[in-house]
Homo-oligomer: A and B are copies of this chain.
Amino acid sequence: MSPFTEQPVTAADKTFFQLRKDIVEGVIAAGTKLSETELSTKYSVSRAIVREAINRLESSSLVERKANVGARVVSLSPEGLVELYQIRESLEGMAARLAAKNMTDEEIADLQKLLNSHFDTVQADGSYYQEAGDVDFHYRIILGSKNNHLISMLINGIYHLVRMYRVQLGMAGPRVTTAFDEHKHIVQAICNRDEELAEMLMRRHIMYSKRNIESKLIK
């Protein structure tokens, strides 16, 4: 099993995962104050556990904490989203470059299979649930980079925040077919071991995605 499929083992883990889920999905609204005592009764654990969970959430940039005052869920802003996508552009661009270098032929073949299955789904059922497939695609390339720091930063760092934006600002956007074409070209570049091109295409892909989201936000 991949070492990045985190499994909760301790109570603090479970509380952290639960809280993260609730925050990302908006069950706990953005900007909410997180009271330690309140949460400890709500989740039936001691305050120490909640404290540890909140600390981890802070490390994930999902909450902000002030000493002696408390923690609040971050509030979402257009600027924040732009900042996130700038980072994704550079980091996932690098991931694509490294994937072109480091993925095995087998992994690349798998990636192509994944893409084909997406194509079938899109073909059959005009609207398909983009999110899962898109995330899956990006995950594979990130993992394909074989750079553990990079993987960790994206998968247990930035991606949850990105998802929080997506869920709460309601981004079940179209861009399905165009995004699909972009994915196809990226895979092609990786298959050709063209690092330069893979990075460039991934950066563009994320840039387009950012623009698409921005155009919706302005409205």
- Residues of A with Cβ closer than 8 Å to B? 9-10, 13, 48, 51-52, 55-56, 59, 61, 67-68, 80, 83-84, 86-87, 89-91, 93-94, 98, 147-150, 152-153, 158
Give A91 to B92 CA distance when docked, in angstroms: 10
* Chain copies in the assembled complex: 2
Chain B residues in 8 Å Cβ range of A148: 83
CB distance from A4 to the nearest CB of B (A): 14
The chain B residue with its CB closest to the CB of A199 is B90
Could you tell me if A150 and B86 are in contact, using CB atoms closer than 8 angstroms? yes
What 5 A-B pairs have minimum CB-CB distances, sorted nearest first? A90-B94, A59-B59, A90-B90, A9-B67, A83-B147
Chain B residues in 8 Å Cβ range of A59: 56, 59
CB distance from A162 to the nearest CB of B (A): 11
Give A67 to B67 CA distance when docked, in angstroms: 27
Could you tell me if A94 and B87 are in contact, using CB atoms closer than 8 angstroms? yes
Could you tell me if B98 and A86 are in contact, using CB atoms closer than 8 angstroms? yes
The chain B residue with its CB closest to the CB of A149 is B83
Q: List 10 A-B contacts (CB under 8 A).
A: A52-B55, A55-B56, A59-B59, A80-B149, A83-B148, A87-B91, A87-B149, A90-B90, A90-B93, A90-B94
The chain B residue with its CB closest to the CB of A60 is B59
Given A48-B48, A56-B59, A86-B150, 11 additional A-B pairs, CB 8 A: A9-B68, A10-B67, A52-B52, A52-B55, A55-B56, A83-B147, A84-B149, A86-B94, A87-B94, A87-B147, A149-B158
